[in-house]
Amino acid sequence: MKNIIFLAPPAAGKGTLSEMLVEKYGYGHISTGDLLRNEIKKQTDLGKKVESLMKDGKFVSDDIIIELISKRIMESDCENGYILDGFPRTLVQAEKYDEMLNKLGKNLGVVIYIDIDKQTAMKRACSRITCPKCGRIYNKYSNEMKPKHDGMCDDCKVSLIQRADDSEETFAKRFDEYVQKTMPLYDYYKNKGVLKTIKAYESKYDTFNEAVKIIEG
Ligand code: ADP
């Protein structure tokens, strides 16, 4: 299976699309956001270090992220292919990742850019809720993505929570970080000839179908 890198602004739907592709193809799912939130939940030294940065919409240091990733891609669920959801997010990370792949003799695969405007992404972020137990992503205002019972995970039956960085104010900061630090990766991967673009449609199934075409094309 082709490895996948999702390149997209915050709240474009990387996590939701990843869940759907993991279910269809059995990819390993590497979400740097989830890895970091897990460290915060467990209040590890790393978690304590990154908590306020993340709450403030800032990026975590490249060194921390590279260390997390280099361990995670060696895990057995990633052997036959994996999705990078939230990495690389800076040019330094992209270059370090190339070095990592060279050393491991693995292929980059395909980079899928999800196209979405700032207003739509902001609306999605502010209405996103997740299950603290299984990590499933819901959206309060989407018929397709709202939970069956208000505020409760369909599967785990526990209360859904809003992410600390999904407020209007923090979203604006996250978006600025993205434009400044992540957007240059668009050209980086375009020049390598591995970049494909899909649109963030209103329906997650339309977006999913476009991704499937790329993966199987
Ligand atoms: P979203 O789903 O909105 O794109 P993520 O869950 O991927 O957000 O990331 C949440 C936060 O975690 C980021 O705003 C940033 O603080 C931190 N983070 C995640 N991935 C990286 C990365 N590759 N480099 C630096 N910081 C990161």
Query: Given this model, what pLDDT does residue 133 score?
Result: 92
Q: Can you tell me the distance from the alpha carbon of 101 to that of 76, in angstroms, rounded to the nearest whole number?
A: 16
pLDDT (0 to 100) of residue 24: 97
Which residues are near ligand 1 (CB < 6 Å)?
10-11, 14-15, 32-33, 36, 53-54, 57-60, 65, 86-87, 89, 93, 165, 174
Which amino acid type is present at position 187?
D
Closest CA to 35 of 65, 13, 7: 65
Backbone φ and ψ for 44, nearest 5 degrees, come out as -75, 170
Give residue for tokens 């309060």. Answer: 140
Sole residue written with tokens 């990633």: 78
Distance 56 CA to ligand 1 centre (A): 11
Q: What is the pLDDT of residue 108?
A: 97
Alpha-carbon distance of 217 to 211, in angstroms, equals 10
For residue 206 the two structure tokens come to 């339309």
List, for the chain, all residue ranges whose pLDDT scores fall below the cut of 70: none
Return the H-helix or E-strand segment holding 22.
Answer: helix 14-25
Tell me the C-alpha distance between 36 and 170, whole Å.
17
HEC-encoded secondary structure of 11-56: CCCHHHHHHHHHHHHCCEEEEHHHHHHHHHHCCCHHHHHHHHHHHC
DSSP annotation of 149 reads B
User: For a substitution probing ligand 1, which of 41, 46, 69, 89 has the most ligand atoms within 8 Å of its CB?
Assistant: 89
In this prediction the pTM is 0.93
Per-residue pLDDT at 217: 86
